């Protein structure tokens, strides 16, 4: 399986790499033309070597996934991988990054991507989510939510509104007071239940 990374290096290192790639007859035995990348046991920090120069390197997560493609005829594109990490090579005197995720993406529109383009995860109470889920399942099944107070009940016929298989529908209107955790805009509202006159 092919795995790809983005390699970001300082400008002077980029010039050396470009010069090595453009050489028509590179000599692998030459010491100043060797490239090497080694990581420590944590897999996040390491060392990038070009010739006799050593630079600190760090593996960082990108804020979003980037797709890479190959082409053989400058017309058709073939996807080769999803890239989600970048190897950041820095100068020897630069400080190590204090986070494992890049603040910015690869292009100008992805500047501050995590802060500007992705919403913050909401702070949810697991117990509250579970209670609301149970209440919704009960309502879908035709029941009522827990802690529900019925304030008044009234029956009437919807002669001009609802007909099902030529049977008059009987609708029961319940004025209910829903629990506060359902976060309704109104505490009290009408809850409808209905059935045919033959099978209420």
Task: Tabulate helix, strand, coil % of the chain (nearest 5).
Answer: 20, 40, 40
**Per-residue confidence (pLDDT) for residue 51, from 0 to 100:** 83
| CATH architecture of the domain formed by 6-116 | Beta Barrel (2.40)
Nearest to 157 by CA among 142, 173, 168: 168
Question: Which residue has 């100043």 as its token pair?
Answer: 32
64 and 55 Cβ atoms separated by less than 8 Å? no
Instruction: Compute the distance between CA of residue 156 and CA of residue 41 in angstroms, rounded to an integer.
Output: 75
What pLDDT shows up at residue 149?
61
pLDDT of the chain, 200 residues: tens digit per residue: 578 889 999 888 888 888 888 875 655 555 556 788 888 888 888 899 888 888 999 999 998 888 999 999 988 999 999 999 999 999 888 888 888 888 888 888 888 887 777 767 677 788 888 888 888 888 788 777 676 665 555 544 444 444 444 444 444 444 444 455 444 444 444 444 444 444 44
Tokens of 62: 């990108």
pLDDT at position 156, please? 45
What's the token pair of residue 51?
């010739």
Task: Please give the pLDDT value at position 25.
Answer: 61
Q: Write down the pLDDT at residue 109.
A: 84
Other C-beta atoms closer than 10 Å to the C-beta of 85 total 18
Pairing of strands 6-8, 78-89: parallel
Residue 88: how many CB atoms within 10 A of its CB?
Answer: 19
The number of angstroms, rounded, from the C-alpha of 97 to the middle of its chain's C-alpha atoms is 23
Q: What is the pLDDT of residue 77?
A: 93
For the chain, domain boundaries: 6-116, 126-196
> What's the half-sphere exposure (Cβ side, CA atoms, 13 Å) at 112?
3
pTM confidence score: 0.52
Question: Are 96 and 45 spatial neighbours (Cβ–Cβ below 8 Å)?
Answer: yes
């Amino acid at each position: 399986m092919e795995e790809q990374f983005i390699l970001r290096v300082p400008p002077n290192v980029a010039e050396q790499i470009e010069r090595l790639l453009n050489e028509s007859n590179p000599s692998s035995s030459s010491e100043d033309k060797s490239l090497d990348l080694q990581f420590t046991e944590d897999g996040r920090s390491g060392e990038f070597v070009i010739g006799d120069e050593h630079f600190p390197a760090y593996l960082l997560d990108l804020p979003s996934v980037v797709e890479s493609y190959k082409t053989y005829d400058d017309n058709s594109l073939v996807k080769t991988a999803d890239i989600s990490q970048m190897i950041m090579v820095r100068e020897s005197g630069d400080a190590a990054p204090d986070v494992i995720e890049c603040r910015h993406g690869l292009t100008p529109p992805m500047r501050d991507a995590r802060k500007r383009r992705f919403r913050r995860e909401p702070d949810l109470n697991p117990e509250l989510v579970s209670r609301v889920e149970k209440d919704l399942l009960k309502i879908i099944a035709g029941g009522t939510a827990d802690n529900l107070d019925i304030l008044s009940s009234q029956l009437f016929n919807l002669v001009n509104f609802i007909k099902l298989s030529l049977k008059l529908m009987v609708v029961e209107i319940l004025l209910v007071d829903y629990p506060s955790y359902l976060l309704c805009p109104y505490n009290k509202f009408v809850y409808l239940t209905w059935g045919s006159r033959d099978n209420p």
